[in-house]
Amino acid sequence: MNVSTWVWVVTLVALVVVLAVDLLIVGRRPHEPSMREAGGWVAFYVALALAFGVVVWVVWGGQPAAEFYTGWLTEYSLSVDNLFVFVIIMARFAVPRQFQQKVLLIGIVLALVMRGAFIAAGAALISQFSWVFYIFGAFLVYTAITLIKQGENDEEDFKENILIRWAKRALPISSSFDSGKMTVVTETGRRLFTPMLIVMIAIGTTDLIFALDSIPAIFGITKEPYLVFTANVFALMGLRQLYFLLGGLLERLVYLNIGLAFVLAFIGVKLFLEALHTNALGFINGGEGVSWAPEIPIWLSLLVILGTLGIATVASLVKSSRDRKKELIKA
């Protein structure tokens, strides 16, 4: 797949334009979007991703398009899991609902910047050292095990890191969010940081941790940097509106962690098998590829990911419905 410089430029310009429009909307009128507004934007961004996949199909062929769709779906599902932690952060710092859009949008911009850096670093590593797939695969399997042990997300899962604790201790912080800006000037003329700064630090550091999981996962689907980047972009676009659209539904997706753990473990095994197939490490099979190591086709990856997420979602909603009925009977 040959992606020219001008295609990269057009893609980046389009991304900046979309983010600028989002910033203008949020900056002009901070508010909590209605279900209709949020649903409309989510549908728009999903349609945009599907249309982009068609463009990839027409320009570069079916294989790259399948890789984009599989990567986008994987990153999108991981992004939904990220929303659990965003909900916890918003609750922990008592962010007013009308300012949560701004927090999410800035968090998404930070995530794009950090993921862009990780993608560039990952692509450089892969081009130089094929054995890095062993590390990526092992890391994804480890992450999957951690997800299963962790269970459902709750407020106790969020621990203030050293940067947040330092900011609270070292910076002059006001007690009010005021108008949602980072700083506020008191009646005495003293400039203070608002709690919005602490929330941004929490979101930013959380994005960094999420990038460590998502980037190896997407490289397990495709090695093409352009597809890796665009899959991440389309997964993050609309995440702000999805946060408000799902609302209480997030709490009902009780088996999402298990589904995501299976997906990450599957991609981790896929990476490990691919590393064996293209092995260049001298202490493994004399530095030759392992012939029995199968290559998992992209169509099978897409089928496994779709099936796993579908089963996890349906099972979650069924369990939540049963639990709710039990509570009503007890009441």
Query: How many percent of the chain have pLDDT more than 70?
Result: 87
Q: How many beta carbons lie within 10 A of that of residue 217, not counting itself?
A: 24
299 CB-near residues (< 8 Å, 6+ apart): 66
**DSSP code at position 157:** G
**Residue 251, Cα to own-chain centre: how many angstroms?**
18
Residue 173, helix vs strand vs coil: strand
Is residue 255 within 8 A of residue 312, CB to CB? The reply is yes
CA torsion sign, 69 to 73 to 74 to 76? positive
Q: Which of 255, 246, 249, 251 is nearest to 315 (CA)?
A: 255
Residue whose tokens read 């990567």? 71
Which of 190-194, 223-227, 232-236, 251-255 has the weakest average pLDDT?
251-255
Mean pLDDT, rounded, of the chain: 80
d(CA 316, CA 103): 28
d(CA 40, CA 60): 30
d(CA 78, CA 144): 12
Neighbouring-strand partners of residue 191: 185
pLDDT at 308 over 70: yes
User: DSSP string covering 181-238, please?
Assistant: -SEEE-TTS-EEE-HHHHHHHHHHHHHHHHHHHHHHHHHTT---HHHHHHHHHHHHTT
132-184 pLDDT tens trace? 778 888 888 888 888 787 665 555 555 666 777 887 788 888 877 777 777 88
Q: What is the pLDDT of residue 65?
A: 93
Is residue 237 within 8 A of residue 48, CB to CB? The reply is yes
Residue 177, helix vs strand vs coil: coil
Tokens of 131: 């054995």
Q: What is the pLDDT of residue 139?
A: 84
d(CA 76, CA 80): 6
Higher-scoring residue by pLDDT: 128, 312: 312
Residue whose tokens read 């910076």? 171
Which whole-number Å values give the CA distances from 288 to 125, 274, 317, in the listed order?
20, 13, 48
Residue 153, helix vs strand vs coil: coil
267-305 pLDDT tens trace? 888 888 877 877 667 667 666 767 777 778 888 888 988
The mean pLDDT value for 306-330 works out to 84
Q: What is the pLDDT of residue 60?
A: 92
30-76 pLDDT tens trace? 666 777 877 888 888 899 999 999 999 999 999 999 999 999 988 88
Which of 94-108, 131-145, 254-268, 311-325 has the weakest average pLDDT?
94-108
The interaxial angle of helices 62-92 and 225-236, nearest 10 deg, is: 40
Q: What is the pLDDT of residue 56?
A: 93
Neighbouring-strand partners of residue 192: 184
d(CA 287, CA 271): 17
Is residue 204 within 8 A of residue 115, CB to CB? The reply is no
CA dihedral 249, 230, 98, 24 (to 10 degrees): -150
pLDDT at 23 over 80: no
- Please, what is the end-to-end C-alpha distance for the chain in angstroms? 60
